[in-house]
């Protein structure tokens, strides 16, 4: 039994390619960067509640998405909420919820779980029997199975 959620969050310092920005880095369960993940975010200000910053960005080849320029950072004022998604990965509607942005170069890390079964191939075939009947079947991972 695991007490860790299927996706997890961690905040750390800036990334190498985005040294002066608040970023979200998305990885899979093995720590591999996920390019082209969709990050839908909102940054709310305690002093300017009528003008939240929001957008939808894609992660780059390093799994990183920039959500706020370091120049727009306001100390003790901003909170980040973000949802992260990627095809074939478990949807994560609450990856980051109202977390304080504590520095102009903060990086939030989100991990998504892949829903694909790796290293399995399925090939459709039609099997013929001695009586001439044909039924659909498949080969799966080197084993022959009929459906």
- 49 and 17 housed in the same domain: yes
- 82 and 134 housed in the same domain: no
CB of 42 within 8 A of CB of 81? Answer: yes
pLDDT tens digits, residue range 3-40?
334 444 445 555 678 889 999 999 998 899 999 999 99
The answer as to whether 1 is a domain residue is no
- 20 and 46 housed in the same domain: yes
Token readout for 60 is 């780059």
- 73 and 126 housed in the same domain: no
Question: How far is Cα 95 from Cα 112, in angstroms, rounded to an integer?
Answer: 9
What's the pTM? Answer: 0.71
Per the structure, the count of domains in the chain is 2
CB of 9 within 8 A of CB of 56? Answer: no
Q: Using the 8-state DSSP alphabet, how is residue 119 labeled?
A: T
- 93 and 122 housed in the same domain: no
Residue 105 has pLDDT above 90, yes or no: yes
Q: What's the number of CA atoms in the CB half-sphere (13 Å) around residue 15?
A: 23
CA-based nearest residue to 104, from 127, 138, 76, 132:
76
Domain that holds residue 26: 9-112
């Amino acid at each position: 039994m695991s007490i860790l959620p299927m996706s997890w969050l961690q905040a750390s310092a800036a990334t190498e390619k985005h040294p002066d920005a608040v970023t979200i880095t998305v990885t899979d369960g093995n720590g591999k960067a996920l390019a082209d993940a969709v990050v839908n975010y909102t940054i709310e200000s305690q002093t300017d509640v009528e003008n939240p910053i929001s957008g939808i960005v894609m992660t780059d080849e390093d799994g990183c998405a920039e959500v706020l320029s370091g120049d727009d950072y306001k100390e003790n004022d901003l909170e980040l909420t973000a949802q992260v998604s990627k095809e074939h990965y478990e949807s994560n509607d609450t990856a980051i919820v109202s977390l304080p942005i504590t520095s102009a170069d903060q990086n939030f890390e989100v991990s998504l779980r892949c829903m694909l079964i790796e290293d399995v191939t399925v090939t459709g075939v039609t099997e013929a029997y001695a009586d001439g009947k044909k039924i659909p079947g498949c080969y799966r991972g080197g084993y022959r199975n009929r459906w």
